[in-house]
Amino acid sequence: MCRLQSQPTPRHNDTTSKHASSTTTPPSSRLQKLTSSLFPIPPYLLIALLPFLPTSLYLNRGYTVWFHLLSISYLFTRSPFTRKVLVLQGTGICVGWYAAILNDWVVDGTFCHTLYRNMPGGMLEYMVIEEAGLGEGGSYNILNTRSSYVMKIASHVLDTAGHPGLLYLFWRLHSNSNNNTNNTNGGTVKGILTWPVIVFAWHFSRLWSMVHSYYNTGELKIWYFGHDVYLLANLDVYLIAYAAEGACFVVAIACRLYWDYCCEDQQVLSEVLSEVSSEQKYYNSISAEKLDGKPELIHSKSAASSMM
């Protein structure tokens, strides 16, 4: 009696199929897998890298520079909390910055001179004549040449992209986040103005002031006033910007208090009404199932008259 022996499957078929599957994978998908494995970076890892950053990135740099650095950190971490902070922080920056520019226009009769004076050095030399005491309350002149007009236009483009442009970008990212979550407040203003976001954004702003006040004066102050960061004709710009930013935070806190306390009863009432409505619909469906198929009573005038 002969036995039938099964022939072993050659191993090279598996390797060949694996090799074929790897070769058929498009480069774009491989790149996507690589980036998805690297990003997003955990926030704690990014915080651990802060001591190794050069101090020129954040010392004697404007508050908008810190806003841009936090924006870069969001690109690496994709943290929803950081995105919400950037929306609130960007709103305060835009309100304070343009309030200061409006003050210069109304009070001093100058239009965006503060903007032109605080552009990068390569652009500044085409727009501003540096004189004695520039940056310490000294006088200065804004040039009106063809090259200066080109740089002024470039200044407004960069200003729009770096302030309201980034704010709009983060707001759109936040508003679109509601499509990927079940939270009804995920993409709304109410979803941004939470207590953790308000508290963090406020302390982040005050941290900028304390770092620069201590670095330049040796004292920790909640609000920094000085010529070491910005090139300013006077320090009134700080006061205007801080007042506008404070008003922004007051509005945010007022909205949060209103939603937490004044709208609480309405929310509870709406939840109770929705529960009652859902239960009523449930019992109606049960009653309909019980009555389904049962004979209905028919009112007959003859039957009623016979009983008289």
Give the containing element (helix H, strand E) for 129.
Answer: strand 128-129
Contact at 8 Å (CB) between 119 and 127?
Answer: yes
* Cα angle: 148, vertex 154, 156; to 5 degrees: 105
pLDDT at residue 178 is higher than 70:
no
pLDDT tens-digit map of 261-307:
887 655 554 554 566 566 566 556 655 555 555 555 555 555 444 44
User: With 90 as the cut, is the pLDDT of residue 102 above it?
Assistant: yes
Lowest mean pLDDT among 62-66, 256-260, 261-265: 261-265
| 109 secondary structure, DSSP code | -
Both tokens of residue 259? Answer: 């939603």
Q: Which of 41-50, 68-77, 251-260 has the lowest mean pLDDT?
A: 41-50
Length of the chain: 308
Element (H, E) at 128: strand 128-129
Torsion of CA 85, 90, 95, 97, to 10 degrees: 130
What ranges in the chain are assigned the alpha helix state H? 12-24, 27-38, 43-48, 63-77, 80-103, 113-117, 121-127, 146-160, 166-176, 189-192, 195-217, 236-257, 264-291, 301-306
Q: Please, how many CA atoms are within 13 Å of residue 162, restricted to the half-sphere of its CB?
A: 17
Q: Are 154 and 46 in contact (CB under 8 A)?
A: no
pLDDT, mean of residues 5-33: 53
Is the per-residue pLDDT at 67 higher than 60? yes
Spans of all domains in the chain: 59-108+163-268
Q: Average pLDDT, whole number, for the chain?
A: 79
Residue 103 has pLDDT above 80, yes or no: yes
Tokens of 287: 């009653």
How many CA atoms lie within 13 Å of 258's alpha carbon, on the beta-carbon side? 8
- The vertex-97 CA angle with 94 and 98, nearest 5°, equals 80
Amino acid 22 reads S
Please give the helix or strand (H or E) that residue 141 lies within, else none.
strand 141-142
Q: DSSP letters of 219-237?
A: S--SS---SSSS--SSTHH
> Is the CB of residue 177 less than 8 Å from the CB of residue 80?
yes
Q: Between 34 and 176, name the one with better pLDDT.
A: 176
pLDDT at residue number 282: 53
Could you identify the residue written with the tokens 């598996």?
14
Query: What pLDDT is stored for residue 164 in this prediction?
Result: 96
Closest by Cα among 234, 43, 65, 219 to 135 = 234
Q: Confidence class of residue 35 from pLDDT cuts 50, 70 and 90?
A: very low
Q: CB of 187 within 8 A of CB of 179?
A: yes
pLDDT at 82 over 70: yes
SS3 call for 142: strand
Question: Residue 289 has what pLDDT?
Answer: 56
Q: Which has more pLDDT, 127 or 184?
A: 127
- Name which of 151, 170, 159 is nearest 84 in CA terms: 170
Tell me: the pLDDT tens digits for 197-253? 999 999 999 999 999 999 999 999 999 999 999 988 889 999 999 999 999 999 999
Whole-prediction pTM: 0.72
